[in-house]
Amino acid sequence: MLRGMCARAVAAAGAVALAACAPALIEHAGPASTITARGSFEIAGRLSARHGGDALAASFRWTHERERDQLDLTSPLGQTIARLNGDASGVRLQTSDGRVETANDWSLLTTRALGWPLPVEGLAFWIQGVPREGAPATVDRGSDGMPLALRQDGWSVVYQAFELDSDNLPRPQRLTLDYADVELRIAVDSWR
């Protein structure tokens, strides 16, 4: 049972943190300023995932480049849970016990591991506070122009806090993603 929960948790965490990225704009308070989604970034933080009766808490480090993603997950005690890698040729998950699982794309991997597909193509945008290009989205904004909530691809993303990244641009620090009986909570500790 623990191994199954770990595999589902690893896949959920990987799905949260891995996706392709392209430039997008979001309105921001101030004189004619905008935030552009980065094509590459490195973030570190913590996440919790809940699906039905299963739950997980982990720390993560996500390196996102236009063509490649790598995610390292660790337990709250600092032990490696898994490493996930992905690019256009496929995705790979390796657990701390050496088990490897591969798939053609993140949706297939998460469907196998979780029982539901996670729209990873949107996550690299959502974690930056912007909707994914090419799909309808609704964004609720605060009086300062920052997003409060975003709805896209059946997911609802609620932004609780922002911080300045290394380029002095505001980026989400805490957010919650909901879809059916899935809830993901992410706290970003550092943006680079």
Among 25, 20, 105, which Cα is nearest to 65's? 20
Mean pLDDT of the chain: 80
Q: What is the pLDDT of residue 115?
A: 64
Q: What is the pLDDT of residue 3?
A: 45
Q: What is the pLDDT of residue 106?
A: 81
Which regions in the chain score pLDDT beneath 70? Answer: 1-35, 114-118
Q: What is the pLDDT of residue 51?
A: 87
* E strand intervals along the chain: 25-27, 34-36, 41-51, 54-64, 68-74, 80-87, 90-95, 100-103, 137-141, 147-152, 155-164, 170-179, 182-191
In single-letter form, the type of residue at position 123 comes to L
For the chain, the domain total comes to 1
Q: What is the pLDDT of residue 19?
A: 38
Structure tokens at 27: 């309105």
CB atoms closer than 10 angstroms to residue 31: 4
The residue range of the domain holding 106 is 2-191
Q: What is the pLDDT of residue 108?
A: 85
What CATH number has the domain bearing residue 39? 2.50.20.10
Total-model pTM: 0.79
